[in-house]
């Protein structure tokens, strides 16, 4: 089988299956990469130092030159016998795009197993299992890794080229994978036509209604709520699962709101605080979009005008012109609550209209419980202090990150007027999600996320789980 055909078939089969959320394009998701208990990966293979042997470089060139024609399986075999475990990263990258059961897939798995001395076993895909091992082992990438990786990824989506072009990007490319969809690079004036090329389309300036106009949404259904300058807005989870990104104005402030369904994390940033020297053309705010890439099961977002990647969890620019300018977006608290609780706490709230303002209908559960059983993309090992999918409220303080287990907050703050104080943070509730304040009373941005996501991006986080 020719690899180009396998690539095209994989794109069609996986488009929207993993990170995509449009019910019309979804197929069955991959098997979970991790359950509630940490995966045990065994001892890491030895890793040589220094440059790659010229013969290994030559074989890597042969393999990547052979894509998208018939892959050079002889070169794959030699790479497996090379003894340099660093090349396992590139072998895993190839496995992301080849169909299981093909000669290319089998040859790549054999090479990976030989060079690492480890069987690529597990409940998930060969790509997921091999990548989980490499992340858990923290295996170094080979010299020149990014250039080989970009050759493969740009075959799938040329729109990713600007991300690879920044040689000083603060991106760990080992952890970057394809989420199953393409880049949302639609022109600004065409964002109301969906995403026929197969991206996750941002929803820009959705129509809002008052609380009474939101009676279409069930009281027990989840919303992501924010309050800006006293103005409350609720975003229904089912609509956010389709778009995963909203750009809009709230109380005179421009907001970008990514939602990583895989991480259980809705966040918001002010996008109208533009750095001096940022070239946005005729626009006066940043425009956040979904790239179609992931890093350890977290969506990779980017800024449309500058093609700069921003860390979804921190708002910090990690590549492109915005990285050079040292941009870090200011976060806004996002609260996870039921619609009934939110409108009771904020009777003057507005909510995204039932049709999003674009005449569309949305299923009550677009993902069909896809993320209920643990991460479906490689994340390596996980912090064992909590189950991987446990929701936490995360806060960044001047002393570092702090996380609060939601189940413990629910119990501790059941009585009105109570607070939880930990790590220099005071958590309170008005019955509609949780807010955080510093010891001096100043508000701190907070948002909810699955534990695996918060802890892997903030491995030094302090944790309040209600037991101490």
Segments making up each domain of the chain, as ranges: 31-156, 188-352, 391-464
User: Are residues 424 and 217 in contact, defined by beta-carbon separation less than 8 angstroms?
Assistant: no
pLDDT at 122: 64
Per DSSP, which regions of 308-367 are E strands?
308-310, 330-332, 335-338, 350-352
User: Are residues 66 and 73 in contact, defined by beta-carbon separation less than 8 angstroms?
Assistant: no
Q: What are phi and psi of 113, to 5 degrees?
A: -65, -40
pLDDT at 22: 44
Residues (pLDDT < 70) of the chain are: 1-39, 122-124, 191-193, 468
Residue 36's closest CA among 450, 367, 313, 368? 450
Per DSSP, which regions of 141-275 are E strands?
176-178, 203-204, 208-210, 222-228, 231-236, 245-250, 253-260, 265-266, 268-270
User: Helix (H, G, I), strand (E, B), or coil: what is residue 397?
Assistant: strand
User: Are residues 146 and 115 in contact, defined by beta-carbon separation less than 8 angstroms?
Assistant: no
User: Are residues 327 and 316 in contact, defined by beta-carbon separation less than 8 angstroms?
Assistant: yes
User: Are residues 163 and 309 in contact, defined by beta-carbon separation less than 8 angstroms?
Assistant: yes
User: Helix (H, G, I), strand (E, B), or coil: what is residue 263?
Assistant: coil
User: Helix (H, G, I), strand (E, B), or coil: what is residue 97?
Assistant: coil
Q: Is the pTM of this model over 0.85?
A: yes
According to DSSP, the residues that pair with 400 across neighbouring strands are: 397
């Amino acid at each position: 089988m020719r690899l180009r055909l396998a690539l095209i078939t994989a794109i069609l089969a996986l488009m929207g299956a993993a990170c995509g959320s449009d019910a019309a394009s979804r197929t069955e998701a991959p098997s979970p990469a991790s359950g509630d208990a940490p995966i045990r990966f065994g001892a890491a293979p030895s890793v040589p130092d220094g440059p790659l042997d010229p013969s290994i470089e030559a074989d890597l060139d042969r393999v990547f030159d052979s894509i998208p024609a018939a892959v050079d399986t002889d070169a794959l075999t030699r790479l497996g016998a090379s003894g340099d475990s660093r090349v396992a990263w590139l072998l895993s990258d190839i496995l992301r795009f080849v169909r299981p059961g093909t000669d290319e897939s089998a040859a790549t798995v054999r090479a990976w197993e030989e060079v690492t001395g480890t069987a690529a076993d597990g409940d998930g895909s060969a790509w997921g299992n091999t990548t989980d091992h490499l992340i858990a082992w923290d295996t170094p990438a080979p010299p020149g890794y990014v250039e080989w990786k970009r050759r493969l990824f740009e075959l799938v989506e040329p729109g990713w080229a600007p991300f690879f072009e920044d040689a000083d990007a603060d991106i760990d490319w080992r952890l970057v994978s394809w989420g199953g969809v393409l880049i949302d690079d639609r022109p600004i004036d065409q964002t109301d036509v969906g995403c026929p090329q197969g991206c996750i389309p941002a929803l820009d300036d959705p129509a809002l209604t008052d609380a009474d106009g939101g009676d279409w949404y069930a009281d027990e259904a989840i919303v992501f709520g924010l309050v800006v300058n006293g103005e409350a807005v609720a975003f229904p989870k089912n609509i956010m699962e389709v778009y995963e990104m909203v750009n809009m104005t709230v109380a005179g402030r421009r907001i970008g709101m990514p939602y990583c369904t895989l991480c259980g994390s809705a966040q918001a940033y002010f996008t109208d605080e533009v750095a001096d020297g940022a070239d946005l053309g005729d626009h006066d705010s940043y425009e956040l979009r979904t790239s179609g890439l992931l890093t350890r099961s977290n969506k990779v977002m980017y800024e449309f005008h500058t093609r700069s990647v921003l860390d979804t969890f921190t708002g910090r620019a990690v590549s492109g012109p915005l990285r050079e300018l040292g941009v870090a977006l200011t976060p806004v608290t996002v609260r996870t609550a039921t619609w009934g609780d939110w409108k009771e706490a904020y009777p003057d709230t507005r909510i995204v209209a039932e049709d999003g303002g674009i005449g569309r209908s949305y299923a009550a559960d677009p993902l069909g419980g896809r993320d209920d059983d643990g991460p479906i993309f490689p994340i390596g090992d996980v912090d064992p202090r909590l189950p991987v999918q446990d929701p936490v409220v995360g806060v960044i303080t001047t002393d570092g990150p702090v996380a609060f287990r939601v189940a413990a907050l629910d119990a501790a703050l059941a009585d009105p007027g109570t607070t939880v104080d930990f790590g220099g943070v005071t958590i309170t509730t008005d019955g509609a999600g949780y807010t955080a304040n510093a010891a001096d009373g100043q508000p701190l941005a907070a948002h909810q996320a699955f534990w695996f996501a918060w802890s892997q991006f903030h491995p030094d986080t302090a944790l309040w789980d209600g037991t101490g």
